[in-house]
Amino acid sequence: MVSGSHPLELRRKLAELEQRCTMEAVLEPLALVRTELPALAVDLAVQRRRARRVHTVHWNPLLRQLDPMRCSRCGNGALALAFTDEEVEPLCAACSR
């Protein structure tokens, strides 16, 4: 607190400063680019005990790597996955613990 200032005076000065320095900004997109690239779809046959299921992963030509699969519990993308025994659903490392 400033020496010799009263709390009301300080609040008034802070409110005035906030009013003078408040800024509002509006962002608008300038351009939208849509591209179409061929992608490779790879079917993976996953077997867990007696259950088997085919999952499809996609090769991303821009990143030059496979797109991550989504965890069936949390929805996060991951490349290293575990799979459930019964339904052969993908699980990320956190959900498989």
Domain boundaries, the chain: 40-96
Q: Which secondary-structure segment (H or E) carries 96?
A: helix 93-96
Q: What is the pLDDT of residues 39-74, one digit of tens each?
A: 899 999 999 989 999 999 999 988 999 999 999 999
Is pLDDT at 2 greater than 80 in this prediction? no
d(CA 95, CA 64): 27
pLDDT for position 78: 93
Residue 42 tokens read as 């790879």
CB atoms within 10 A of CB 95: 18
Residue 70 tokens read as 């989504």
Residue 56, SS3 per DSSP: strand
Torsion of CA 86, 45, 92, 96, to 10 degrees: 30
d(CA 50, CA 40): 29
pLDDT for position 38: 86
In the block, residue with structure tokens 């009013």: 19
pLDDT for position 82: 95
Is pLDDT at 4 greater than 80 in this prediction? no
For the ranges 3-7, 12-16, 43-47, 88-92, the lowest mean pLDDT is seen at 3-7
